[in-house]
Structures are given as C-alpha cells and as structure tokens.
C-alpha cells in the first residue's frame, strides 16, 4: 500500500513542508533512503544525510530548520521517535497474519488450543498443554506436557518449551529459545565424577515478555525460575535455575546469570554481563558491558568492569590504568636516577 505525505501527517498530527502528494510504500534509514521510502531524522549527527537522501518523505522535529535545499518532502512532528514508533507499529499490523492449523502438526487429544490460533507445520503440543486465544505457534515448535500459554503469545520457529512451564499473555519468543531445560546442577563425588541433581521445578514467564533468539532459561531445582512481566531479553542469553528477573528489566545479548541470583525491576544489563550465583541486584541498577558481578548491587547503583566497581570508582581507576605505560616509564626514570645518586 502507498501513503501520501498528507495522509501520514494526518495520522501523526504533523505538518507537511513540500509536496503533499508525495507517496511512500516502505521505510528506510536516512542514509539508505530510496524513492518511495519514508525515513526520519532523530539524531542530529545524521543531519548531513537529509540533504542527500533519495527518500521521498522525511520525518523531522518541529524545531528543525534546514541549512541547505532538501529534495524530500518533510513532515514536521512534535516527537520524531514517538511518530516513528507509531508508524512502524501500524506498518507491522498491516502485514499478512498467519492463520489456521496445519495438517502436519501434532496436537495431543488431551491438549487444549483456543480459537483463532495459528499452528505451523511439524509443531508438537503434548498432553495437558493449553494454548490461549490468538497465539501463533510457528513450525517445529515443541510445547511439552502441561505447559500453559496465555493469549496472544507468539512462539517463532524452533522454540522448545519443556514440561510444566508457564508462559503469559502477549509474549514473544524468538527462534531457538529453550524454556525449561534442566538447571546446571551436579554433585561432585570422591572419585572425580558427578551425580546429576534432579531439576524438579519449572519456569514461569509473566505477561508482555520478549525473549531473543537462542536464549535459554533453565528450570528451577525446586520452585520456579521466574521472568516477571515486561522483561525484554536479547539474543544468546543464559538464565540459570531459580533465577528471578524483576519487572521491566532489559538485557542486551550474551548476558549470563548463574543459579539463584535475583535481579530487581527496571534494571538495565548491557551486553556480555556475567552475574555469579546467589547475587542480588537491586531495582533500577545499571550494569555496563562485559562487567562481572560477584557481589550484591544496591538499588539504583551503576557498575562497570570485572570484578565490577561503582561507576565513578571504575572511571577513576580506568584513567590510571590507561596511563600505566607512562607511569611505568616515569617510575623507571626515578629508580635510575636514585641508583645514579647512590
């Protein structure tokens, strides 16, 4: 479908500068814009591209004033970020939606699948499982015995949900996610071998959670591993047994949390953060990339480094660390001068 600048401005409550009949059918980055695409300027450092982009329409802030001629039609809005989000949501909603239950899936007679669900080829739903209204279960998804899935949840291809786990409503699990595999529990024996410790709990994922591709969340040894509502986890994340992640916490890729640790609500964990076992991270904490957390972090604190230090202490320490070669040379010169005096 095509949309004119006038139509888009009407949807966003914006104003058109240029050709109101300019039409677009797709979106693009501002530097890669082509004719027929809509793009946007949210970061001033990309302003140079607005004068050369081939995009037909550009969203800009009301305060934007060009310093050179612009070929594209502009739509001025109060908040470009909010406007872009609204348009992307509308564009996504207009994409064709998967429907129907494949004849090549396997649904146990003892499972319950609500109306309006999509079940793809070779998906397996075991006995006692229930899938809520409007869910999308893509090909090769496995839903184990007694699993409960709320309304409007999407499981992309290859997701595996082990027995007894719970997934809330309006969740998104991307390809390759594994929910409920055994926690990593082994008891060392005198002869150097290990006895496996049975993992008898489950995983509970509350509403409005999104989990990135190939992320693994282990079942608890007892009780539950819990991902609270609104949590957003990136790709390639490992969550150990009996971990609890609080509401609206966000984590970038390759983060790992060892067993029985607790993360508060509204935290931000950057990429490749490692959290040791039995650690508690307070609410609103922020952990920088590649940080190693082996001690509790109070509410609202910032941590960097491995082992992690409070933000200001880390930056002061790093300033010294960066200058170590010069410090070493100066120290050698002082030692040499002292020896010469002697």
Token couple for 129: 């499982």
Tokens describing residue 4 = 């004119």
Q: Which of 241, 265, 278, 315 is catalytic?
A: 241
- Note if 265 is an active site residue: no
The answer to whether the beta carbons of residues 329 and 311 sit under 8 Å apart is no
Report phi then psi at 12, rounded to 5: -100, -5
- By annotation, the residues acting in catalysis are 241
């Amino acid at each position: 479908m095509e949309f004119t600048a006038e139509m888009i401005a009407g949807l966003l409550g914006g104003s058109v500068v240029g050709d109101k009949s300019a039409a677009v059918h797709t979106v693009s980055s501002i530097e890669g814009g082509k004719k027929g695409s809509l793009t946007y300027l949210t970061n001033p450092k990309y302003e140079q591209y607005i004068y050369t982009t081939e995009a037909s329409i550009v969203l800009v802030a009301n305060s934007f004033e060009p310093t050179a001629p612009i070929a594209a039609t502009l739509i001025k809005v109060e908040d470009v970020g909010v406007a872009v989000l609204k348009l992307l949501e509308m564009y996504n909603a207009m994409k064709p939606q998967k429907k129907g239950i494949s004849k090549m899936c396997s649904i146990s007679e003892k499972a319950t699948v609500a109306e309006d669900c999509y079940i793809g080829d070779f998906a397996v739903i075991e006995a006692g499982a229930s899938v809520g209204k409007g869910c999308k279960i893509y090909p090769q998804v496995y839903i184990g015995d007694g699993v409960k899935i709320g309304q409007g949840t999407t499981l992309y291809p290859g997701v595996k949900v082990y027995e007894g786990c719970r997934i809330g409503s309006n969740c998104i699990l991307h390809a390759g996610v594994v929910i409920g595999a055994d926690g990593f529990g082994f008891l060392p024996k005198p002869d150097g071998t290990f006895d496996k410790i049975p993992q008898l709990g489950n995983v509970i994922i509350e509403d409005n959670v999104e989990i990135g591709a190939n992320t693994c969340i282990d079942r608890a040894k007892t009780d539950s591993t819990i991902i609270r509502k609104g949590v957003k986890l990136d790709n390639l994340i490992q969550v150990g047994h009996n971990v609890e992640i609080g509401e609206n916490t966000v984590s970038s890729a390759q983060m790992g949390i060892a067993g029985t640790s607790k993360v508060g609500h509204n935290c931000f964990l950057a990429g490749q953060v490692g959290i040791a076992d039995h650690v508690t991270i307070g609410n609103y904490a922020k952990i920088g990339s590649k940080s190693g957390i082996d001690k509790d972090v109070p509410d609202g604190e910032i941590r960097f480094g491995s082992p992690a230090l409070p933000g200001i202490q880390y930056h002061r320490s790093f300033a010294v660390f960066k200058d170590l070669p010069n410090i070493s040379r100066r120290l050698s010169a002082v030692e040499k001068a002292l020896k010469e005096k002697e």
